[in-house]
Every structure is written in structure tokens, then in C-alpha cells.
Structure 1
């Protein structure tokens, strides 16, 4: 039996954001530390950013069966050699992870630059593994590329560096401190 079906992005991420909104509302009403003022705004921004990244990298979910299923072996979907096929298409992957490198230290002020970059690399690896599993389980055309992992990690490093530079300005530091999880109504 041949079939193809789509699980739309909004069918998954819409309810996930709605659940986050309810949790945020309940925690804010309950005066839970870190869920008021700037930290709440930062958490909302992080949730929207996460949904945006997932909508680009994982969704919509396409499910293929029968003759529509991609018949290439799953191993052929992996590009394991770094920079072999590197080109300007890596730039969007760099840009996509800049906000993550900027947001993580604000959400968890104790994070070092190394740990922030490592978390960005792990998030990117998680996306690539998810894309591979989608290919194996759902038969879609997603591929796994080590260059995406490199580009995303570089984006996280750039975001972390941008945060460090931004914090040098007194006015910007004051705003960032109000947003940070350890300040501004936490």
C-alpha cells in the first residue's frame, strides 16, 4: 500500500507552546522564583526560539510508505566527512544557533563558555540524530551532515561571544541582568 501523510508543525508545536504557556502562567501566579519579569520574558523567548528551530529542522513530519518510501539505505543519508561539501548553505546553520549561544548563559548564568558551546553541539547532534531516525522510521528524505553539526556549534560559539561583548556595555549589561535567571524578579 502506497501512502504519504504529513503531521503539520502546528499540530505538535502549537500544543507544546500552549502547555508551556499554561505552566508559565501557573508558575507566575504562584510566585515561583524565575517566573516573573525578565526571567519569564527570557523563558518565553527561549520557548519560541526552540519551536522555531524545531519547525525548521524536524517538522513537519512526513510519513511515507510503500512505493513512496525512500528506498536508499539509511547509511547513505549520512555525510560523515567534515567540510567535504562545505559551501554557503552552511551559513543559515551558523545563524540558526547564534541565539542559542546567547540565550543559554542567560538562562543558566553559571554556564562557562565551554559548556555553552558543548550544549550547542549536543543540541545540534540531537537534531541530526532525530533527522536520521526520521529517515529510518518514516522514510522521509532528511539527511544527516557533519557540516550542520560544525556550523551549528560555530553559531553557538558566535552567540556566546556576542553575549560577552554585549555585556561589556554598561547599559546592555543592566538589561541582560534584568533578564537573567538570577536577577530581575527571580
Structure 2
């Protein structure tokens, strides 16, 4: 994977999985209560919200970097650099990251929801979510030269916490 896509893919997958746990944990625990249509709707909603948040955060971060660079170079106004090819490239970079985040977010949310829709076991969606988060943690540990114990354990703990909060809130 290209290094610049690591952040959007990671945030998309993790956000998708934990959002679906938060929104639908109590429903996923009931056998036969999640339809394929429901799974697609929740995954799409999660992805759309994640994409909006990612674009706003990433585009503002990139514009801020360009603005800071403009001040360091002594330009009287940051608008000079923002109107150049650099300004257009940060927009393209933000849109590319947003797209990767959206696809990853949809996929991440669909993992536990599809397990709930296509199995009768109340444990399958949670197991699918937790295994996915552990695998994501292992991938992150490898990508950032981190601990192969800390990253997966932290991701698993986050998933369990979100499932418990989702069960307590009983959103759907």
C-alpha cells in the first residue's frame, strides 16, 4: 500500500468497524434481526459520515500546511500558494484520501453487519469485528514498526469497548 493511503485506509476501516458496533451492537446480538438491506444502509451511512469528516479534517490540515509554508517563505498572503498547482494538488490529495477512507469505511462497517445478516449466531458479528480489528492492529504494527502485541490488543480493547457501549445505548 502506498504510504500516503495508510492513514485514510486505516481510519476508514477502524471507523467503519467501530461505528457499526456502536450503532448496531444490540441488533447484531439478536439472531435474524439484521437483513442484508439493513447492513448495506448502515455501512453506507457510516461511510458517508466518515468521508465527510475525513475530507474536512484532511483538506483543512493540508491547507494549513500550505499556509504555514507560505508564511515561512515570506509571501504576503497564503492565497498565492493556494492558487498555484500546489493548491490544486492538495485538493486532489484530500479527495483521493476521502475516497480511500470511504471505501474502507464501507468495507469495515460491512464486516460485522454482513456476519450478522448471513449467520444465525449472535457471536459471529462480534467475532468478525474483533478479528478484523486485531488484523488491522497487526497490519498497523507492521506498517509503523510498532509492537505486535500493543497494537492488536489496543484495537481489540477498542472494539470490545465500542460493542459494550453500543449494547448499552441500544441505538438500533
Query: Which TM-score applies when normalising by structure 1?
Result: 0.34
More helix as a share of residues: 2
Higher relative contact order (CA 8 A, sep 6+): 2
Query: Which TM-score applies when normalising by structure 2?
Result: 0.36
